[in-house]
Structure 1
Amino acid sequence: MSVLAEFEALYGVEPEGIWAAPGRVNLIGEYTDFNDGFVMPLALPHTAVAAVARRTDGTLRVHSADIEGGIVQLDVSALEPLASTDWAAYPAGVVWALREAGHPVTGADIHLASTVPTGAGLSSSAALEVVTALALNDLFGLGLSRPELAVVAQRAENAFVGVPCGVMDQMASACAAEGHALFLDTRDLSYRQVPFDLAAQGLRLLVVDTRVKHALGDGAYAARRAGCEAGARALGVRALREVPYVHLPDALARLSDESVRRYVTHVVSDNHRVERTIALLDAGDARAVGPVLTEGHASLRDDLRVSCPELDLAVEAANAAGALGARMTGGGFGGSAIVLVEERAAAAVSAAVEKAFAEAGFAAPRIFPAVPSEGARRL
C-alpha cells in the first residue's frame, strides 16, 4: 500500500501533500560540525517519506509504517523537551521547535515511512526531522529557507530529544543536490555543491553497514563534544575550527589533558582533510581522495577513539582487497564505513569484506553503493 493510501486508511481523509527527505553519508569531516568546522556529506537515495495534512485544533497525530504500534496523539501546546526518546519525539520535536520560534503550527496528521537504515549512522533521525519540517513549512506557509529548516530540525534533536548532534546531518538532508557532495561551513551554514560524479571517472563509493551499534556510543559522543569544547576554552578560541592546521603542534603543546589533546588533533586535522578533499575534487582527481579517507579513519580510531572492531575490519579488508581508501562514517561505535573503489573492483572488494566478517564471526554486513542524490523535496 502506498503512503498516500495508508494515510487515508489511518486518518480517513486525503493528505495535503507528500514530502521526502534523504539520509546521508559523510564523505569526510567527522566530529567537526559541532566545532564550527567543515564537513562534506552527500544525500543517499534512501528517504523518509511523510504524508501530511494540517489540523487547527492543536492536535498532533503521528504514525510510522516501520514501527509497530498505532497512532501517537499529542497536544501541541503540551509538548515538553526530554519527555520521550522514542521515534515520535523526532517529528514532535520539530513541531515544538517551530512553535518555540513563534511559528503558528496548529497541529497535523502525519504518516511516515522510511527506507533509511536505522542504527547505521546514516541519519535516519535527521531525515524524519527534515521531512516533517519541510512539510509543515509548506503547509503553514512559514517561508523558512532550507538552512533555517535544518537548524529547526537540529534544535528538535538537541533540545527536545536530547541528542547533542551538530547540524551536518540536517543540512545534508535539507540542502544536498543530486550528483554532488555538499561542502558545508558549519559556522555560518554557507555551502557549495561540489560535483561528485564518480561513475564518470570509473569509480564507486560503497557503504558498508556493519549492522552493529555499540551501546557506549551515545554517552561517548557527548564526552567527545565536551572534550573538544574544553580544548577550545584552554586554547582561548571560540571553537577548534579557529586552530590552523599549521599551528596544531603549538596548540597541542599548550594542552595538558591527554584525551583533549587527541580530540583536538582529530578535529584540526580532519578540517584539513576536508580542505584537501575539496582541492582534489575541484582538480578532477577523485582517486586521490582514497588515501585521505584512510588517513581520516586512522584518526577516528586512534585520536578520537570512536571506531570498533567491525568498522576497523571493514576498512582493513577493503583496503587489502584493492580499495582506493576507506573510513568509518558517522558517530562511530558501529554503523557504517565508506569505501572508495574502482568500479570494476567493487564486487571483489565487497566479497572480501563479507568474507572477512564471516571469518571473524561478525554478522554479515549490508553493502550498497552511495549514489549522490537529491535533498528534501515535495513529491
Structure 2
Amino acid sequence: MSDGVWAAPGRVNLIGEHTDYNDGFVMPFALPHTTVATVSRRDDGVLRLHSADVPGDATALRVTELAPGHGPRGWTDYPAGVVWALREAGHAVGGADIHYESTLPTGAGLSSSAALEVVTALALNDLYELGLERSQVARLCQRAENRYVGAPTGIMDQTASACCTEGHALHLDTRDLSQRQIPLDLAGQGLELLVVDTRVQHAHSDGEYGKRRAGCETAAATLGVPALRDIAHDALPEALDRLPDPQIRALARHIVTENHRVERVIAHLEAGDIRATGPVLTEGHASLRDDFRISCPELDLVVDTALAAGALGARMTGGGFGGSAIVLTDVALTPTLTKSIQEAFTSASWKQPRIFSTTPSRGARRLS
C-alpha cells in the first residue's frame, strides 16, 4: 500500500539555451510527458528504488551512507542524489520505497533526469512534511545533479519541471530566480509545436557540456563581469574585441545574443504574435550550431528540412550533442513536415526520429 503518487514533467525549452549557468534568461515550458513515482515511507533508513523502464531488481541504499562519488553509477544516482541533498540541507528525510514509471524518452534533451529528481523531491517533501517551496525543491534538485551526479547543469530544467503552469511558457531569470508565466496559446493561432527526437543519445556529464561552461566563465572573467549576462547586447562588439581566443569569443557571442533572443520572443508573445517567434528560433539554432558548436548532423537535418518544407522556425533544444529539435509550424502543414523529415532521415540511412506535437502543460503535482 503506497502513501501517495506524484508526477513531474519533462520540459521543452522554447528559447534561451545554455544561458542558465550564465545568470541569463530562459523560457521553457512543461511537457505533458511525465515521470510518475509511487512512494511509501520507510522508517528503517533504507531507500529502495525501482523503475518499470529499467530491467532488474530494485536497488536498496542506506540514506546515511549516501555521498557524492559513492555507490552505483546510473539512473539511481538522480533520486539518491536528491535524498543526499535534502539531508545535507538539514532536512530530516529517512527511507522510502519508490517505484517509477515514465513516458519521457531518456537522452532526448527533454529533461528526463530533472523530472526524476523533482518527482522524488516533491514526494519526500510531502511525506516528510518539509514545507519546501517549489523554487527550493528546484534548487535542491540542481544541487543533487551538480554535486552527486556530477553534471554541471544550470537551474532551468528543475525549475521548469517544478514550476511551469499549463498554457504558459516560464520566463525565468536565473540570477534572482524571479519567474513570469507568459501565455503561449499555440492552438488559438492555428499553430503547432513539434518535437523531433533524433534518437541520438547525449550525456551532460561526458565533459563537453562542462567545457562550454568553463569557457563562458573564462570569458566573463576576462571581461571583468560576474557572468556573461552582464554584457548588454549593444555592447557586444566591444566586448568581443577584448576576447582574443576565437572559441571563447564565439561562446560569449552566443550567450549575449541568446539572452537578447529571449527578450525578443517575450515581446512577440506579449504582443500576441506567436508566429513572429519563428525566425528568432531559427537564429538560435544557427548560434548553437556555429558559435556554441553543440549541434549534430541529425539536428541540423531536422531544422534544414523543416524550414525547406515551410516551417515558421526550428531549432535544437536542450543541452546538445544529440537529443531533440523543435519546429514551429501551421497546423495544416504538420503532415507534410513530418513526412519530409522522415524521408530525409531515410535518405541519410539514419534511424527514424520520434515526432510528436506538444503543448505547454502542468508542472509537478501530487496525483493521489
TM bucket by the smaller chain?
A: over 0.9
The answer to whether the 8 Å contact 1:16/1:52 transfers is: yes
Distance 1:216 1:239 in 2: 21
Distance 1:347 1:146 in 2: 38
Secondary structure in 2 matching 1:212: coil
Distance change in 2, residues 1:41/1:214 (3 Å):
closer
User: How far did 1:85 drift?
Assistant: 2.8
User: How far did 1:80 drift?
Assistant: 1.3
In the alignment, structure 1 residue 312 sits paired with structure 2 residue 300? yes
Distance 1:301 1:325 in 2: 15
User: How far did 1:217 drift?
Assistant: 7.9
In the alignment, structure 1 residue 321 sits paired with structure 2 residue 318? no
Distance 1:349 1:27 in 2: 19
User: How far did 1:82 drift?
Assistant: 2.3
Counterparts of 1:44-193 in structure 2 under 5 Å? 44-83=31-70, 84-193=72-181
In the alignment, structure 1 residue 250 sits paired with structure 2 residue 241? no
User: How far did 1:69 drift?
Assistant: 1.1
Secondary structure in 2 matching 1:94: helix
| Residue 10 (structure 2) aligned to one of 13, 23, 26 | 23
The answer to whether the 8 Å contact 1:63/1:71 transfers is: yes
Secondary structure in 2 matching 1:105: coil
The answer to whether the 8 Å contact 1:217/1:333 transfers is: no
User: How far did 1:215 drift?
Assistant: 6.9
User: How far did 1:213 drift?
Assistant: 2.1
Distance 1:282 1:52 in 2: 40
1:74-98: per-residue Cα shift (whole Å, max 9, x none)? Answer: 0100001122430111110000000
Distance 2:75 2:204 in 1: 20
The answer to whether the 8 Å contact 1:32/1:271 transfers is: yes
The answer to whether the 8 Å contact 1:63/1:70 transfers is: yes
Unaligned runs of 5+ in 2: none
1:35 corresponds in structure 2 to 22
Counterparts of 1:200-239 in structure 2 under 5 Å? 200-213=188-201, 218-239=206-227
User: How far did 1:107 drift?
Assistant: 1.0
| Residue 344 (structure 1) aligned to one of 320, 325, 332 | 332
The answer to whether the 8 Å contact 1:216/1:333 transfers is: no
Distance 1:226 1:183 in 2: 25
Distance 1:85 1:32 in 2: 28
Distance 1:144 1:297 in 2: 36
1:106-165: per-residue Cα shift (whole Å, max 9, x none)? Answer: 111111111110010000000000000000001111011001000011111000000000
The answer to whether the 8 Å contact 1:217/1:331 transfers is: no
Distance 1:156 1:64 in 2: 19
Distance change in 2, residues 1:352/1:125 (3 Å):
same
Distance 1:354 1:162 in 2: 36
Secondary structure in 2 matching 1:362: coil
The AA in structure 1 aligned to 2:294 is V
The answer to whether the 8 Å contact 1:217/1:332 transfers is: no
Distance 1:277 1:181 in 2: 11
Mean Cα deviation higher: 53-62 or 136-145: 53-62
User: How far did 1:360 drift?
Assistant: 1.1
The answer to whether the 8 Å contact 2:107/2:203 transfers is: no
Distance 1:75 1:164 in 2: 25
| Residue 261 (structure 1) aligned to one of 249, 253, 260 | 249
1:11 corresponds in structure 2 to none
1:373 corresponds in structure 2 to 361
Distance 2:334 2:206 in 1: 32
User: How far did 1:218 drift?
Assistant: 2.8
| Count of aligned residue pairs for this structure pair | 366
User: How far did 1:223 drift?
Assistant: 0.3
Distance 2:283 2:292 in 1: 13
Unaligned runs of 5+ in 1: 1-13
Secondary structure in 1 matching 2:352: coil
1:239-287: per-residue Cα shift (whole Å, max 9, x none)? Answer: 1111101100011011111111000000000000000000000000100
Secondary structure in 1 matching 2:323: strand
1:334 corresponds in structure 2 to 322
In the alignment, structure 1 residue 196 sits paired with structure 2 residue 184? yes
Distance 1:221 1:126 in 2: 16
Distance 1:143 1:214 in 2: 35
Distance 1:319 1:205 in 2: 13
TM (norm. structure 1) is 0.95
User: How far did 1:216 drift?
Assistant: 9.2
Distance 1:298 1:318 in 2: 14
Distance 1:370 1:87 in 2: 26
Distance 1:315 1:238 in 2: 34
User: How far did 1:346 drift?
Assistant: 0.9
